[in-house]
Amino acid sequence: MKIIHQHLKETSCYDGSPIQPLWALDKYGIKGSSIISWMGPMEIKAENIVDVEDVGLEIKSDNMAHFIVEHFDCQPADIRICYHRQRILVMLLKEELRSFGIECKRRGDDLFVNSKKLTVSIATISPTSMKIHLGMNITSEGTPDDVKTIGFFECNESLNEKDIVNLINNVSKNYIDEINDIEQDITKTRSFY
């Protein structure tokens, strides 16, 4: 399966709207399965909140690394497969953070460092695609006061913006490789009925 990764150099605020289907096509002309990544703030508008448990909560940060994943390979879109892929993406981020000397604990689809929340994530479907958003705090500034948070820079003071870009590119490449490896395993496996 071909998955395109495009890292955007421009900064933009994640307001929840990129989780809509065909966002990469509408906004950047990218057709097909993709990962779009960028750095920027997050402030999710109430009308764009997907997780029912998050309604009424502040979901914001001054600066995050964002991943928006969209898959078209499963028709109709399957929410269970989408959540499995979300967990793969989160676990690959956890592995990559370890290479920067950052040890995390995973609880569901969230990563924590010293009991402080490092990430936010959601998975959802539309009639045609599966969508995932994963955001990692670059700094804890601007996050909700009622949540203990931590940022990438606060985990290791020697890290810089180039490290974040490398992390984003590595996680995206590893995710694409993992999905493609699964597809290859499917094509070489004899099944019995």
* Tens of pLDDT, residues 168-184: 999 999 999 999 999 99
pLDDT confidence of residue 50 = 66
pTM recorded for the entire structure = 0.93
Number of other CB atoms surrounding residue 180 within 10 Å = 13
Measured CA to CA, the distance from residue 14 to residue 191 in angstroms comes to: 43
pLDDT of 119 > 90? The answer is yes
CATH topology of domain 4-185: BirA Bifunctional Protein; domain 2 (3.30.930)
Query: Looking at per-residue confidence, does 189 or 50 come out higher?
Result: 189
pLDDT confidence of residue 55 = 54
Span 77-87, mean pLDDT? Answer: 97
